[in-house]
Structure 1
């Protein structure tokens, strides 16, 4: 399982590492972690590799003072109008591939998180942040609209009125505000943020991976087709989880040791 060169080494703008069951993707393109051609190429490689080698959980984080100042505006200046559809279809595909991973995904935002980075955060299952972190879809500053799926995913989490507000004003919103909106799932203090975010993701990575995958599937069926669609899929999904080793071992441990049993899950 050799990593692509774009995801390893000192020159990599996006670095993939593993800590036991947890895989970590780190934006590392100082000082602003901009989404330029190199960053997007690395993200394409990353989601392709993760799709082929699904981890038990994924943590997306950033190195430096900011998570990301967003898209390098030179990208827009150098994009011919006739190529725009194909270009944005490719970038949206990164969002969709991240969203489709069969494991829990956590985006950790310790500070400024703009445009493409925020859109990828919204493709993750869970978002954690510091209360002071600032988020924005600020494409209006260049007369544009979010093109990696952020608007609709924000509407999915916070409602259409909030999505219109955030995108149309182009204002920045604190992590504490987005927690009130239901966009951010957990807030951690700045001093311990990296440790807290890593522990949060590791707890998911050490859990019943196949059950987490089923949960993601049920939620997606609901979002796509409502309660009836989720109900229609649930019996088959539940039966598949019931056949897993993790489930059978946990049931035995529960009956033997009670609800606080110390079963170690292996993701199968």
Structure 2
């Protein structure tokens, strides 16, 4: 049986690919693969992660068969497992980029919202359309839309179940960058590679500070800065970059090693 999601690593950059054409539906096999790969990435974090998809769509959403006949307890357990997978990706100590080249619905969109950056093709469309089966998005979508775009936009995306284009979501601060469709994969790979080749310990510190702000506001973020940023002075990357800057200026080009 072909794996519905593949994980490849090369020189510090990991690429997680949704690969179950034609619709890349999130069914039991896809959910299991997501959990398995998230655990592998947590156990052995890369320096950067790109999440992308093969085929004409990123994903047509969840295979509705997965919801048929679930009890209240089984539904709650499903969401606990899937939220755990999303938060595992979200908390990786490295930059995570999600590339959407086309239609991105429900579970795939919620996975994207757990990433640091979402980049998209100009014709890509996004939707949280769970109300069509009497659900609300439950892999973290509403709260992460609210985090990026505000609570009003979160209610709009979920309650209307409409599709929104990449440029609209860029204006709303949900999508970070929009490129021409045929450029998305190459541009996303280049961006993820550049981030992976950078000072990944500093990138992790940025993630921790921003997460502290999301959880506890300005005071919460300020409270973690001394320990989180102070620890960077013990890294090889900072020491080498400081010496390179002093010797050659801001364009010193000192390579970072993630240590």
**Shorter-chain TM-score: what band?**
over 0.9
In structure 2, the residue matched to 1:7 is none
1:110 aligns with 2:101: yes
Q: How far did 1:20 drift?
A: 1.4
From 161, 166, 171, the counterpart of 2:157: 166
Q: Which runs of 4+ in 1 moved over 4 A?
A: none
**Which secondary structure state, in structure 1, belongs to the residue aligned with residue 51 of structure 2?**
strand
In structure 2, the residue matched to 1:207 is 198
From 6, 16, 26, the counterpart of 2:17: 26
d(CA) in 1 for partners of 2:219, 2:142: 26
Q: Structure 2, unaligned stretches of length 5 or more?
A: none
Contact 1:108 1:128 in 2 (8 A): yes
In structure 1, the residue matched to 2:49 is 58
**Which secondary structure state, in structure 2, belongs to the residue aligned with residue 259 of structure 1?**
coil
In structure 2, the residue matched to 1:40 is 31
Q: How far did 1:80 drift?
A: 2.8
1:148-159, aligned counterparts within 5 Å? 148-159=139-150
1:142 aligns with 2:133: yes
1:115-134, aligned counterparts within 5 Å? 115-134=106-125
Contact 1:130 1:190 in 2 (8 A): yes
1:204-243, aligned counterparts within 5 Å? 204-243=195-234
Q: How far did 1:162 drift?
A: 0.4
Report the aligned-residue RMSD: 0.9
TM-score normalised per structure 2: 0.98
In structure 2, the residue matched to 1:261 is 252
d(CA) in 1 for partners of 2:220, 2:226: 11
From 168, 171, 176, the counterpart of 1:177: 168
Q: Structure 1, unaligned stretches of length 5 or more?
A: 1-9
In structure 2, the residue matched to 1:80 is 71
User: CA-to-partner distance for each residue in 1:175-209, whole Å, 9 max, x for gaps?
Assistant: 11100000111111112211111001111000001
Q: How far did 1:88 drift?
A: 1.3
**Which secondary structure state, in structure 2, belongs to the residue aligned with residue 146 of structure 1?**
coil
Contact 1:221 1:230 in 2 (8 A): yes
In structure 2, the residue matched to 1:244 is 235
d(CA) in 2 for partners of 1:132, 1:57: 26
In structure 2, the residue matched to 1:71 is 62
Contact 1:188 1:197 in 2 (8 A): no
Count of aligned residue pairs for this structure pair: 259
In structure 2, the residue matched to 1:4 is none
TM-score normalised per structure 1: 0.95
Q: How far did 1:16 drift?
A: 0.3
